[in-house]
A = this chain, B = another copy of it.
Amino acid sequence: MRPSGRAFDQMRDVTLEMGVAPQAEGSCLVAFGRTRVLCTASVETTLPPWRRNQGMGWVTAEYGMLPRATGSRTRREATAGKQSGRTQEIQRLIGRSLRAVVDMGALGENQIILDCDVLEADGGTRTAAITGAFVAMSEAIGWMKARSLLKGNPIRDHVAAVSCGIYRGTPVLDLDYLEDSEAETDANFVLTGAGKFVEIQGTAEGEAFSAEELNDLIALAQKGIGDLVARQRSVLEAI
């Protein structure tokens, strides 16, 4: 039995609210249950130095967490003077995931920066961030289209993410914080709208896991991400 009473293959309530940051070219407030992440997409004409003059764009991400997104206060990284290893690992993952579905040539020499800031954390912040950042990025690309800043449609497919894990011996979908802190295995999956894998990261927190267990987690992820992509499509129909 899961602490939340959910079925093993049931996601939390998911909402995707577009346009919440009126000064940004794209934005999305994503909620996976109590986990809420504010994703903004900024369009810039400046590329990283190593990317310039190649006729191609770039997509990158930064991740942060408000100090009181968590049950006890987390030290502010700006005060600590650096981003933690965990933060860097997450923002590198978000960036890679989104780049996997973008045609950099069609983007032209533009950069899209995705800022994912966690307002409240209850497990799964990185997967919520990827799912919401795709919506924010799509809104920003719509903004660019409307201004004829693109050479073509740079979005090749959807991308969304979910975590799965083995909780008290059972593979379950979309871990919340209570489950996450206790899970024997924790895995994050990033898949495209077509159901192909962009990233798979599975870690045994306690016991190592078997090939069969891995297959169960994969099946759960495919189901969950199917749902997430449907929600993305629904919210993006407006633009």
Output the nearest chain B residue to A210 by Cβ-Cβ distance.
B196
Per-residue contact bits, chain A 53-81, to B (CB 8 Å; 1 contact, 0 not) = 00000000010101111111100111111
Asked whether any CB of chain B lies closer than 8 Å to the CB of A110, the reply is: no
Asked whether any CB of chain B lies closer than 8 Å to the CB of A144, the reply is: no
Output the nearest chain B residue to A117 by Cβ-Cβ distance.
B66
Contacts A92-B89, A96-B203, A211-B218; is A68 near B23 (CB within 8 Å)?
yes
- Select one of B68, B89, B157, B210 contacting A115, CB under 8 A: B68
Least Cβ–Cβ distance between A23 and chain B, in angstroms: 5
Asked whether any CB of chain B lies closer than 8 Å to the CB of A170, the reply is: no
Asked whether any CB of chain B lies closer than 8 Å to the CB of A113, the reply is: yes
Task: Judge whether A208 and B197 touch: CB under 8 Å.
Answer: yes
Output the nearest chain B residue to A92 by Cβ-Cβ distance.
B85
Task: Judge whether B79 and A81 touch: CB under 8 Å.
Answer: no
Task: Judge whether B23 and A40 touch: CB under 8 Å.
Answer: no
Asked whether any CB of chain B lies closer than 8 Å to the CB of A100, the reply is: yes
- Across-interface contacts of A119 in B (CB, < 8 A): 21, 38
Asked whether any CB of chain B lies closer than 8 Å to the CB of A199, the reply is: yes
